[in-house]
Amino acid sequence: MDACLQNHSAQFCSEDRRPGIVAENVAMGILAMAAVALRFYARIESGVGLWWDDWITLIGLPYSLAINVLSGEFVRAGQGVHLATLPNENLPEYFKQLYLQLAVYAPGLVFFKIALLLFYVRVFPHDRRLRFMTWMLSAAIGIWLIIIECIALFQCSPVHKFWDQDISGKCISQEALFLGQSIPTVIFDLIILGLAVPLVWGIKLPRSSRAALIGIFMMGGLVTVISIVRLHYALQPVKDDITWNLVDLGLWSDSESPVGLVSVCLPTYGKLFRRVLMKLHLTKPTTSEERSSRHGRTHESETRRDLRMSSTPIDEVEDGIWAEGPANELKDLNSSKDDTNPGVITVTRDMRLDK
């Protein structure tokens, strides 16, 4: 601090953004854990079982939390105060923490993107174009992750040149690394969101219901907004006062993965939220529920299905949730001797009214 006061004002030397950094990361960590926990509760409570998108979301949670936890150590090392206030002996630890931040950033983003793509496949299992786009995008995201991780881990030669500025060696531009992380992320997010709108709009629902469902999917657009803002800060010079100038870029980076997890979990909450609203008498039962209450018990049996992995019943879509289960829980009756038109979903219902 004394060295800082020799060249700067007292106000400059006393500026401190560390409390805000800590508060944001605590909030983001809690938000991510709550979102994933509620997702699993909603899926299990609905009795639909778990699928790959659920497990990928769970795998992505530790990576998201790692960013928030490491940000706490980053603050301890000097993030959030001016570089002039730090003793020179503290700088190696600061750059070690920055190195870890750069290493865990990309994996934290990948899993929720893959989970959202798998969710599309689960909801629209018969759309071949969607499946093709999903696998192509997943492959592109995976290749990007491998490349950007190699660059982040080996950006300096030797590696410890990153935090030991006194040794000889060379490093790539950090601004180039920031751009390599941000630009592809924005592109991937826009493509993924672009896939959702025509799919949801094509569902045979009232326009207001379709708009509501699209609104839920568009919550994923928050991640894109965050990525774009992060890209803006990635373009700003930081070297002159890196511990201070990097704060805004860090804050947006710390929120990107948690908000992504929330956006990919939101579509799974519909049925659970509907139950809560019904208990609070804030919404009406669905048409099927009203029929059941008026006419007593209705026994329905679906006798034939041609499903490859999971179903997307329209009545469940009307409830605001797709409650399809894993593939191995559904019986494929393609071999039925009555199936004369493969590739078409055929449902027959036997109704009995008990008075």
Q: What is the 3-state secondary structure (H, E, C) of the chain?
A: CHHHHHHCCHHHHHCCCHHHHHHHHHHHHHHHHHHHHHHHHHHHHCCCCCCHHHHHHHHHHHHHHHHHHHHHHHHHHCCCCCHHHCCHHHHHHHHHHHHHHHHHHHHHHHHHHHHHHHHHHHHCCCCHHHHHHHHHHHHHHHHHHHHHHHHHHCCEECHHHHCCCCCCCEECCHHHHHHHHHHHHHHHHHHHHHHHHHHHHCCCCCHHHHHHHHHHHHCCHHHHHHHHHHHHHHCCCCHHHHHHHCHHHHHHHHHHHHHHHHHHHHHHHHHHHHHHHHHCCCCCCCHHHHHHHHHCCECCCCCCCCCCCCCCCHHHHHCCCCCCCCHHHCCCCCCCCCCCCCCCCCCCCCCCECC
pLDDT at 298: 42
CA distance 130 to 312: 15
Asked if the structure places residue 283 within a domain, the reply is: no
Asked if the structure places residue 320 within a domain, the reply is: no
- The CATH number assigned to the domain holding 113 equals 1.20.1070
- The range of the structural domain enclosing residue 194 comes to 2-274
CA distance 15 to 241: 13
pLDDT at 252: 93
pLDDT at 69: 93
Asked if the structure places residue 41 within a domain, the reply is: yes
CA distance 172 to 7: 31
CA distance 297 to 307: 27
Asked if the structure places residue 314 within a domain, the reply is: no
Asked if the structure places residue 330 within a domain, the reply is: no
> For residue 209, what are its two tokens?
């219901």
pLDDT at 213: 67
pLDDT at 46: 75
CA distance 103 to 151: 9
Digitized pLDDT (tens) for each residue of the chain, 355 residues in all: 667 767 777 888 888 899 999 999 999 999 999 999 988 888 887 777 788 888 999 999 999 999 999 999 999 998 998 888 888 888 999 999 999 999 999 998 899 899 888 888 887 787 788 888 889 999 999 999 999 999 999 999 999 999 988 888 898 888 888 888 889 999 998 898 888 777 777 666 666 666 666 666 666 678 888 989 988 888 887 778 899 999 999 999 999 999 989 888 887 877 776 677 667 765 555 544 444 444 444 444 443 333 333 333 333 343 443 433 333 333 333 333 344 444 444 444 444 445 4
Number of independent structural domains in the chain? 1
pLDDT at 319: 42
Asked if the structure places residue 251 within a domain, the reply is: yes
